[in-house]
Amino acid sequence: MSELFIELLSEEIPFWLQKNIVEQFKKKIIDVIIENNLSLSNKINIDSQFTPLRLIFSCRNLIKKQKSLVKEIKGPPVNAPENAIMGFLKKVGVSKEKLEKKKINDQDYYFAKYEVIGKKSEEIIKNNLENIITTISWQKSMRWIHDNFKWGRPINNILFYFDNKFIPLDFLETYSINNNSFTISHKKNEKKIKFRSFDEYKKKLISSKVIVEQSKREGKIKKEINNFCKRKKIVLKDKHNFLVSLNAGSTEYPNVLFGKIQKDYMLLPQEILEVVMINDQNFIPLFEKNNNLSSYFVIIGDLIEKKFQKKIMKDNEKVLEARFADAAFYWKNDLKITLESRKQLLSDIQFHQKLGTFEDKTKRMEFFAINLANQLNFQFNASHLMQAVKLSKLDLTTGLVREFPELQGIIGGYIAEVEKKDKFVCLSLKEQYLPQGPSDLCPKRNLSILLSLSDKLDTLLGFFLIGETPTSSKDPYALRRSALGILRIIVENNLKIELEKFFNDEVINKYNVKDTKDFKINNLIIFLIDRFRFFLKSITIRQDLVNAFFIEKSFNSDFLTLYKKFIALDEFINKGEGKKIIELNKRALNIVTIEGTKMEINNFIDKDLLKEQHEKILVDSLDKVKNKIKNEQEDFKSVLNAISSLHNPLNNFFDNVMVNVNDVKIKSNRLSILKKVLDILKAYADFSKIQK
Amino acid sequence: MASNKNVLSFQDIIFKLQNFWSNNNCTIIQPIDLQVGAGTFHPATVLGALGKKSRNIAYVQPTRRPTDGRYGKNPNRLQHYYQFQVLLKPSPKNIQSIFLRSLKSIGIDQKKNNIQFKEDDWESPTLGASGLGWEIRCNGTEICQYTYFQQIGGVECNPVSVEITYGLERLAMFIQKTNNVFDIIWNVNKKEKKTIKYKDIYLESEKQFSKYNFELANTEYLFKCFEYVENECKELLNNNLPLPAYENCIKASHYFNILDARGVIGVAQRQSYILKIRSLVKNCCAIYIKLEL
């Protein structure tokens, strides 16, 4: 049993890049192992770890050397010209006496047997490593010494051990990458570490204060935060776990320090403090149990001796205070001008060159908001709604939003509070951009829903009108996020609306876009459907169901109903009831597919041709189910139960009725019955795509 | 900590860095005598990073960012400040440890501090340039920018240069433990026992230039200046003189920066000015390479 071990040592690679590369690299090693039969067991277990400076892979259970194989190869016919035969001999390296003859289609051919000598595993892996490192695809990468070799940041050293033996990698010289047999300790000590095995490597690294496992670094941070939080009766929010990961992925030995925010700054809106801490510094904010920001926050350092910790913590606090002081200055200034009097300033800010200023946008949003409120039959206070829309974008003119763009909306809400506006108006201003990420809550209050939907619908339609639609790699106006936000608000608030109705000529005219001839509403609906599938994938564990789920061409853009239909299917399948339908679908589909290539199957079932009892029963059941589907329309559970009730009649049909009979008319009629079964199923989902 | 006589003064920091990089194979050159928005604009960096010839240089560059002026009232912001710039082509293999030693030479020991390499990819739309690297933070303060150039003037850099930019005021504030940039000790005259502070040299100038940049700069005149230098640059390029042509790009960029501070450039217009400068810089770079200078 042999073991491979690879370490790539580089300069600091950003966490988000490094964690993706680990998986890709790992897969490439597995491919090499599989392709060359290097594993002793069927399950290939690669231990892969990373730090900002290291990528580490090890795999046990490998063979030392491939088995030698005898292979046979077909040559030219025996009567081929001599030089063709000589050419073949040369190619396989065998003498003519050793050739065998075999007959294929009445013609004798030469065959040669030759031995493929098994190669050493270390040779194979070594020879593949160059290919692996040069074909990794990075989302962002750079050149440093070599003309066209790219990596996330410069690589210092690559080492490869096989069976506890250092194997030199000659090709690294071409790329000016070191190939030392030793590694380096934590950067703060910068010592050479020599080792003979992977186990020894890990032990020595740990004692040099490098934790190679991301999960252990995260664990260390979390444990220390939790201990602190318990003592202080405060909490770390789940939504800030990403900061724990980010910090763990940016250090080799995380030290957790706790800073404190000065009292004066705690008077600022807490979102400002939060944004400054997170975006500027990757500090982790901590919260009181009542959800208010606590005055404590977390600083993660990389291997800091105890005696320096306090000074480093104080220095960090000072940096934060300078930023808070900036924010406090803006906040004080911003309150000097009322929201309403900022209207003039807003007309100077472009939303988009072709879509006018933010003032233009607000005017269109009024229109969306009123129409939405009417279609949804919302109870609402019209003057509050108009006020919310009119105020919604005014905070874009404040110093704070210019300095911290992610606080748009929130600042407006706070200023409105100071100006004693209606509390739901203030709330809607703060919530208008929600939800932004998957961990964000959706607005729940009517006013907030209307404002948030109006903003997103206006954005989405606008950019589609001017043809600025997302491509596979680029979505500069975050339209995917807007679309997802619309869908989540609809679904989570149980809103029955047909979005298509908002994309009419009256609305389109309000944009004053000169040339809209390339715009098709259908493209926008298709985009929304695509986002809807993405959304479904995020809420179910059954990705296959989403792929199987059918959305009709005539879909009227009522996503709530579509959502309910999917959820019914999801529950149905997860309860195990789907099994029957899947089997049934499979049998029917097999026959129809095979016979369909031989003859045309029409949609009409001729009742006079029904001979056997079980086919009559099936056709009766089909009619009943079809009626039921028609009547139940939106009670998808009943629809699925009705479909499920086809199981017995269909089973009996398969057991007792021959489809493949000599009488072509009867055969064709029976195929039509099966086709109808399939059609009924297909109106719901493509059951052949669902795994049992 | 102004009382601490042993604290490194602003000028000491410059001396130490110059010495350090001089001992590390660099030619210490002098700043460009024009108003630039960043040390990178120095032709020794922009044009020096092009082509195959190896170069190791370091220099102090006075830098101007009119929009960052605060009339001398903000303890952290200046419209005129200093960068210490290092350019190494090709980038040496052990450059990171050399860099960390340079910090140690001015008293920033990585064992006693938390030095972070925080992802920060650099892009200069006006120079048509980009690179990958980090901002270097010391206990939370950004003190340096560290970039592997990938492209300058739209041209792929080959070999790749590494650029290290030290923010001298930030470093001095950190080293001298002061919270106000104007309290930085520039020099301690030991004979006369006199301390010269940053404010003694620059406070008045910050006030006056903020007033000029934000309130008084004649925008009509500046728009015309922009046009003149743009044409001058084109004319020089027609004569295959990329060095003076490039200096006119620097001038254009500065006029643009003041106009921006005066708030007279709209969003769409802004983009078109940036593109104008970029296309001039691109042409300078192209001709510079063609002439194999």
Phi-psi region of B140 (alpha: psi -120 to 50; beta: other; left: phi over 0): left
DSSP A265: G
A439 in B contact zone (CB under 8 Å) = no
Give the other-Cβ count within 10 Å of A138's Cβ: 14
CB < 8 Å from A in window 198-227 of B: none
Preceding amide of A435 cis, omega within 30 = yes
A353 contacts in chain B (CB < 8 Å)? 267-268
Of A65, A57, A66, nearest to A29 (Cα)? A57
pLDDT in tens, A352-371: 878 988 999 999 999 999 99
Q: What is the pLDDT of residue A357?
A: 87
Instruction: Report the percent of chain A where pLDDT is more than 70.
Output: 100
pLDDT in tens, B115-134: 999 999 999 999 999 999 99
Q: What is the pLDDT of residue B2?
A: 44
pLDDT of A638 > 90? The answer is no
* Angstrom distance (rounded) from CA A434 to CA A233: 29
pLDDT of A373 > 60? The answer is yes
pLDDT in tens, B236-246: 999 999 999 99
pLDDT in tens, A89-119: 888 888 888 888 888 888 889 988 888 888 9
Dig out the tokens for A358 from the structure: 């933010």
Which one of A142, A190, A350 has the shortest CB-CB distance to B132?
A: A142
Q: What amino acid is encoded at A470 in this protein?
A: P
The residue in chain B having the minimum alpha-carbon distance to the alpha carbon of residue A16 is: B119
What is the per-residue DSSP string for B110-153? TTTS-EEEEE--EEETTTTEEEEEEEEEETTEEEEEEEEEEEET
In chain B, the domains with their CATH numbers are 10-210 (3.30.930.10), 217-290 (1.20.58.180)
CB–CB of B139 and A154 under 8 A? no
B7 or B12, which is more confident?
B12
A647 in B contact zone (CB under 8 Å) = no
B192 in A contact zone (CB under 8 Å) = no
ipTM, interface predicted TM-score of the complex: 0.93
**Residue A559 near residue A491, CB atoms below 8 Å:** yes
* Angstrom distance (rounded) from CA A629 to CA A643: 9
Give SS3 for B69: coil
Q: For A572-689, give the CATH class.
A: mainly alpha
A318 in B contact zone (CB under 8 Å) = yes
Of A584, A303, A594, A240, nearest to A439 (Cα)? A240
Which one of B117, B132, B158 has the shortest CB-CB distance to A140?
A: B132
Least confident stretch, A290-304, A633-647, B107-121: A633-647
B97 in A contact zone (CB under 8 Å) = yes
CB–CB of B93 and A187 under 8 A? no
**Residue A261 near residue A320, CB atoms below 8 Å:** yes
Which one of B117, B121, B179 has the shortest CB-CB distance to A318?
A: B179
**Residue B175 near residue B187, CB atoms below 8 Å:** no
Q: What amino acid is encoded at A282 in this protein?
A: N
Q: What is the pLDDT of residue B263?
A: 79
Mutate to test the interface with A, among B1, B89, B119 (most CBs of A within 10 A): B119
* Angstrom distance (rounded) from CA A404 to CA A621: 64
Give SS3 for A381: coil
Work out the pLDDT band at A634, boundaries 50, 70, 90: confident
Helices (H), A441-504: 446-465, 479-492
pLDDT of A4 > 70? The answer is yes
A143 in B contact zone (CB under 8 Å) = yes
Q: What is the pLDDT of residue A682?
A: 84
CB–CB of A144 and B91 under 8 A? yes
Of A271, A418, A446, nearest to A340 (Cα)? A418
**Residue A408 near residue A396, CB atoms below 8 Å:** yes
* Angstrom distance (rounded) from CA A223 to CA A217: 10
Q: Number of A:B CB contacts under 8 A?
A: 84
CB–CB of A316 and B75 under 8 A? no
CB–CB of B150 and A140 under 8 A? no
CB–CB of A188 and B75 under 8 A? no
B90 contacts in chain A (CB < 8 Å)? 145
Dig out the tokens for B74 from the structure: 């903000």
Q: What is the pLDDT of residue B5?
A: 59
CB–CB of A316 and B132 under 8 A? no
Which residues are CB-contacts of A537 (< 8 A; sequence separation ≥ 6)? A543, A546
Which residues are CB-contacts of A130 (< 8 A; sequence separation ≥ 6)? A169, A171
Q: What is the mean pLDDT of chain B?
A: 94
Average pLDDT over residues A602-606: 85
* Angstrom distance (rounded) from CA B241 to CA B41: 18
Which one of B96, B150, B158 has the shortest CB-CB distance to A11?
A: B96
B19 in A contact zone (CB under 8 Å) = no
Work out the pLDDT band at A279, boundaries 50, 70, 90: confident
Least confident stretch, A51-65, A187-201, A586-600, B218-232: A586-600
pLDDT in tens, B41-54: 999 999 999 989 99
Q: What is the pLDDT of residue B1?
A: 43
* Angstrom distance (rounded) from CA B35 to CA B42: 10
pLDDT in tens, A436-483: 888 788 999 999 999 999 999 999 999 999 998 998 878 888 999 999
Q: What is the pLDDT of residue B188?
A: 92
Where in chain A are the domains?
2-65+120-207, 69-116, 222-334, 342-539, 572-689
Task: Give the minimum alpha-carbon distance from B240 to chain A in angstroms, rounded to a whole number.
Answer: 28
The residue in chain B having the minimum alpha-carbon distance to the alpha carbon of residue A151 is: B132
The residue in chain A having the minimum alpha-carbon distance to the alpha carbon of residue B117 is: A12
* Angstrom distance (rounded) from CA A231 to CA A224: 11
* Angstrom distance (rounded) from CA B16 to CA B27: 14
Work out the pLDDT band at B3, boundaries 50, 70, 90: very low
What is the per-residue DSSP string for A155-210? EEEEEEEETTEE---GGGGGGT-B--SSEE--TTT--EE--SSHHHHHHHHHHTT-
Work out the pLDDT band at A683, boundaries 50, 70, 90: confident
Give SS3 for A235: strand
Q: What is the pLDDT of residue B4?
A: 52
Give the other-Cβ count within 10 Å of A119's Cβ: 14
User: Edge to edge, what strands does the sheet with A100-104 contain?
Assistant: A69-77, A107-116, A100-104
CB–CB of A154 and B91 under 8 A? yes
Which one of B96, B111, B118 has the shortest CB-CB distance to A188?
A: B111
pLDDT in tens, B247-284: 999 999 999 999 988 878 776 678 789 999 999 999 99
Which residues are CB-contacts of A252 (< 8 A; sequence separation ≥ 6)? A51, A52, A53, A54, A186, A187, A209, A210, A211, A217, A302, A303
Task: Give the minimum alpha-carbon distance from B93 to chain A in angstroms, rounded to a whole number.
Answer: 8
Of B24, B19, B170, B168, nearest to B97 (Cα)? B24
Give the other-Cβ count within 10 Å of B110's Cβ: 17
pLDDT in tens, B169-201: 999 999 999 999 999 999 998 888 899 999 999
B110 in A contact zone (CB under 8 Å) = yes
Dig out the tokens for A297 from the structure: 């926050």
Q: B236-259 burial, b for 16+ CB within 10 Å, e for fewer? A: bbeeeebeebbbbbbbbbbbbbbb
CB < 8 Å from B in window 488-547 of A: none
- The Cα-based distances of A57 to A167, A206, B164 in angstroms read 15, 17, 33
Which one of B75, B118, B141 has the shortest CB-CB distance to A319?
A: B141
Of B111, B39, B16, B71, nearest to B208 (Cα)? B71
B125 in A contact zone (CB under 8 Å) = no
How far is CA A464 from its chain centroid? 24
Which one of B91, B114, B148 has the shortest CB-CB distance to A302?
A: B114
CB–CB of A143 and B140 under 8 A? no
Q: What is the pLDDT of residue A692?
A: 67
Least confident stretch, A7-16, A250-259, B218-227, B270-279: B270-279
Task: Give the minimum alpha-carbon distance from A530 to chain B in angstroms, rounded to a whole number.
Answer: 32
- The Cα-based distances of A29 to A135, A173, A174 in angstroms read 12, 21, 22
User: How big is chain B by its Cα radius of gyration, in Å?
Assistant: 20
Give the other-Cβ count within 10 Å of A433's Cβ: 22
Q: How many CA atoms lie within 13 A of A380 on its CB side?
A: 27
Q: What amino acid is encoded at A507 in this protein?
A: V
Task: Give the minimum alpha-carbon distance from A19 to chain B in angstroms, rounded to a whole number.
Answer: 15
A350 in B contact zone (CB under 8 Å) = yes
Q: Is the dihedral of CA A483, A485, A490, A492 positive or negative?
A: positive
Q: What is the mean pLDDT of chain A?
A: 91
CB < 8 Å from B in window 273-312 of A: 281-282, 299, 301-302, 304-305, 308, 311-312
CB–CB of B160 and A11 under 8 A? no
The residue in chain B having the minimum alpha-carbon distance to the alpha carbon of residue A349 is: B267
B91 contacts in chain A (CB < 8 Å)? 144-145, 154
Q: What is the pLDDT of residue B193?
A: 86
Characterize the bridge pairing of strands B162-167 and B80-89.
antiparallel
CB–CB of A316 and B140 under 8 A? yes
A153 contacts in chain B (CB < 8 Å)? 132, 148
DSSP A592: H
Characterize the bridge pairing of strands B129-138 and B122-124.
antiparallel
Instruction: Report the percent of chain A where pLDDT is more than 90.
Output: 57
Cα angle for residues A439, A442, A447 (degrees, 5° grid): 155
**Residue A452 near residue A429, CB atoms below 8 Å:** no
A147 contacts in chain B (CB < 8 Å)? 158
Q: What amino acid is encoded at B135 in this protein?
A: E
CB–CB of B139 and A319 under 8 A? yes
For residues A205, A209, A215, A216, the Cα torsion angle rounded to the nearest 10 degrees is: 110
Q: Any idea which fold A342-539 has?
A: Hypothetical protein af1432 (1.10.3210)
Task: Give the minimum alpha-carbon distance from B117 to chain A in angstroms, rounded to a whole number.
Answer: 7
pLDDT in tens, A220-274: 999 999 999 999 999 999 989 999 999 999 999 999 999 999 999 999 999 999 9
Mutate to test the interface with A, among B139, B150, B170 (most CBs of A within 10 A): B139
Q: What is the pLDDT of residue A335?
A: 94
**Residue A672 near residue A602, CB atoms below 8 Å:** yes
pLDDT of A632 > 80? The answer is no
Q: What is the pLDDT of residue A308?
A: 96
Which residues are CB-contacts of A233 (< 8 A; sequence separation ≥ 6)? A288, A289
Lookup result for tokens 């031989």 = A598
B158 in A contact zone (CB under 8 Å) = yes
B97 contacts in chain A (CB < 8 Å)? 190
Sequence length of chain A is: 692
Task: Give the minimum alpha-carbon distance from B140 to chain A in angstroms, rounded to a whole number.
Answer: 5
